[in-house]
């Protein structure tokens, strides 16, 4: 059996570094991939493009959290 990296319980009540990194798909807080992945995820999940408002908010929250806590 492989290791399942996806959470079964949804998002945490309060954002953590680990969760923010997981949402944005980065392995380092100082990663240049934060903005690249953020833009890709926002485009894919934006409500105006048929995406989820909730997921868009979580992506925004994750980016802000990492930028403000580094």
Which residues are CB-neighbours of 25 under 8 A, at least 6 positions away?
33, 37, 41
Q: Decide: helix, strand or coil at residue 59.
A: helix
Instruction: Note the pLDDT tens digit of each residue in 21-59.
Output: 999 999 888 777 899 999 999 999 999 999 999 999 999
What phi and psi, each to the nearest 5 degrees, are found at residue 64? -60, -40
Domain spans of the chain, in order of start: 28-68
Q: According to the model, what pLDDT value does residue 1 have?
A: 43
Q: Mean pLDDT throughout 63-68?
A: 93
Position 7 pLDDT exceeds 90: no
DSSP 69: T
pTM above 0.85, yes or no: no
Q: What share of the chain is helix, strand, coil (3-state, %, to 5)?
A: 55, 0, 45
């Amino acid at each position: 059996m492989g290791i399942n990296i996806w959470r079964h319980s949804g998002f945490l009540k309060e954002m953590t570094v680990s969760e923010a990194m997981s949402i944005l798909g980065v392995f380092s807080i100082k990663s240049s991939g934060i903005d690249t992945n953020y833009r890709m995820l926002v485009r894919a999940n934006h409500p105006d493009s048929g995406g989820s408002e909730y997921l868009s908010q979580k992506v925004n929250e994750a980016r802000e959290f990492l930028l403000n806590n580094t």
